[in-house]
């Protein structure tokens, strides 16, 4: 099969990225083989390819890029009973595993969910990582309830865009924070207030208490700290920037453990979550339903053929990445 991969960690030397032939993956009894229609570019695949997580987790080598995908089930392992050959599916494949930028990917049967019926299978490739990250940030960790007030740093980004929409779907008041040039976009997807991070602070636009602060941006620590002054007692911060989150957590004195509520110490009065997206097929299945019911329109800012994947990696390394790039592998799949 054709795939985009590296044969060894490339330390961000993109000349080592290869578009070439690899054997089609074999499946284990608990896996399915998915024929990939599309996936999306996500910054973490560049970091994994570079070897930044070499000491944190094991990655298959060759490492095929692409941490999510949409496609058709081609083969089903003996112990898989939730899907059948021919099903349209979406899957979060995992930071460490990758595989979405190949014609075929093997993944656990438990990790695939039905693709929304209201979108083309190709466009569904933009859903899994961004939407699942948003869902887990808001509901699994943020425990957002109807009527609550949520601050979204990075509101127009690949993840932030889904966060704004899903928070509105839940019935929350949303304060979107991003660059002033994207204000109209952020308001059009449902934000109630907008803060331009280049010249405003949260308090300039909204000066009451908030229930939840979410960060999926390169905001500096000081920005989140200032916002925390408006957080209700016992409120929650979900921070997708792990390095910054760990630094801040040390300051407020919480225990470190990935992906769970970190600190509700008396001094801090805050639940602080260092966020890392995790497999969650029931939530991915709900996301498909919400999309079909019109509650979420996943963002696609650019579409590229998989053979051009390197361009997305270059753009990311130049710091120009913004939004969701769909990586098309086979758009004949319906
Ligand atoms: N922990 C996890 O599991 C997980 C999962 C997915 C993503 N992430 C991380 O989350 C981050 C966002 O990912 P993404 O794909 O959504 O990125 P993205 O599409 O580049 O979006 C980030 C957005 O944040 C904006 N921004 C920059 N500085 C800001 C500030 N000070 N305040 C508010 N907004 C600001 C950016 O605007 P400009 O264009 O002006 O810079 C951009 O619109 C990345 O660091 C990614 O690695 C983590």
d(C-alpha 101, C-alpha 106), whole Å: 12
Its pTM stands at 0.93
Instruction: State the pLDDT at residue 58.
Output: 86
Atom of ligand 1 minimally distant from the CA of 177:
33
Which fold, 2-127+298-328?
Quinone Oxidoreductase; Chain A, domain 1 (3.90.180)
Instruction: State the pLDDT at residue 175.
Output: 98
| Both tokens assigned to 80 | 């898989």
Instruction: State the pLDDT at residue 146.
Output: 98
Which of 178, 193, 245, 277 has most ligand 1 atoms within 8 Å of its beta carbon, as the pocket-test mutant?
Answer: 178
Residues of the chain with CATH 3.90.180.10: 2-127+298-328
Residues of the chain with CATH 3.40.50.720: 130-274
Does the Cβ of 254 fall within 6 Å of ligand 1?
A: no
CB contact at 8 A, 246 and 232: no
Atom of ligand 1 minimally distant from the CA of 223:
31
Q: Whose CA is nearest to atom 17 of ligand 1?
A: 157
Which of 148, 86, 134 lies closest to 114 in space, CA to CA? 86
Atom of ligand 1 minimally distant from the CA of 44:
47
Does the Cβ of 165 fall within 6 Å of ligand 1?
A: no
DSSP letter at 67?
S
> Where does 130-274 sit in CATH, by number?
3.40.50.720
Atom of ligand 1 minimally distant from the CA of 319:
41
Does the Cβ of 185 fall within 6 Å of ligand 1?
A: no
d(C-alpha 159, C-alpha 41), whole Å: 12
Using 50 as the pLDDT threshold, list the residues of the chain that sit under it: 255-267
Buried/exposed 162-186: b ≥16 CB within 10 Å, e otherwise: bbbbbbbebebbbbbbbeeebbebb
Which of 161, 156, 175 lies closest to 131 in space, CA to CA? 161
Instruction: State the pLDDT at residue 233.
Output: 84
Instruction: State the pLDDT at residue 275.
Output: 77
The string of pLDDT tens digits covering residues 181-198 is 999 999 999 999 999 999
């Amino acid at each position: 099969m054709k795939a985009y991969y590296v044969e060894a960690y490339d330390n961000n030397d993109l000349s080592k990225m290869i578009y070439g032939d690899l054997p089609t993956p074999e499946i284990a009894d608990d896996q399915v083989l998915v024929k990939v229609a599309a996936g999306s570019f996500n910054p973490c695949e560049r970091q994994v390819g570079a070897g930044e997580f070499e000491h944190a987790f094991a990655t298959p080598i060759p490492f095929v890029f692409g941490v999510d995908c949409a496609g058709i089930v081609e083969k089903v392992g003996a112990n898989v009973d939730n899907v059948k050959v021919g099903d349209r599916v979406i899957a979060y494949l995992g930071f460490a595993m990758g595989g979405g930028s190949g014609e075929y990917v093997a993944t656990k049967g438990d990790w695939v969910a039905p693709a929304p019926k209201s979108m083309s299978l190709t466009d569904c490739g933009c859903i899994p990582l961004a939407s699942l990250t948003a869902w887990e940030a808001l509901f699994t960790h943020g425990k957002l309830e109807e009527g609550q007030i949520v601050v979204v740093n990075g509101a127009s980004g690949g993840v932030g865009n889904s966060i704004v929409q899903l928070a509105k779907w839940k019935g929350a008041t949303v304060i979107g924070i991003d660059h002033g040039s994207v204000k109209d976009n952020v308001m059009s997807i449902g934000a109630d207030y907008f803060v331009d991070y280049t010249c405003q602070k949260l308090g300039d636009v909204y000066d009451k208490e908030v229930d939840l602060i979410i960060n999926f941006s390169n905001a500096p620590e000081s920005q989140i700290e200032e916002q925390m002054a408006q957080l209700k007692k016992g409120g929650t911060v979900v921070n997708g920037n792990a390095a910054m989150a760990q630094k801040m957590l040390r300051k407020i004195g919480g225990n470190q453990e990935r992906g769970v509520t970190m600190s509700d110490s008396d001094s801090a009065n805050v639940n602080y979550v260092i966020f890392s997206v995790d497999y969650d097929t029931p939530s991915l299945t709900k996301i498909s339903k919400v999309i079909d019911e019109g509650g979420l329109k996943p963002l696609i800012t650019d579409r590229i053929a998989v053979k051009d994947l390197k361009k997305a990696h270059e753009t990311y390394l130049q710091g120009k990445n913004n939004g969701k790039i769909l990586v098309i592998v086979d758009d004949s799949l319906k």
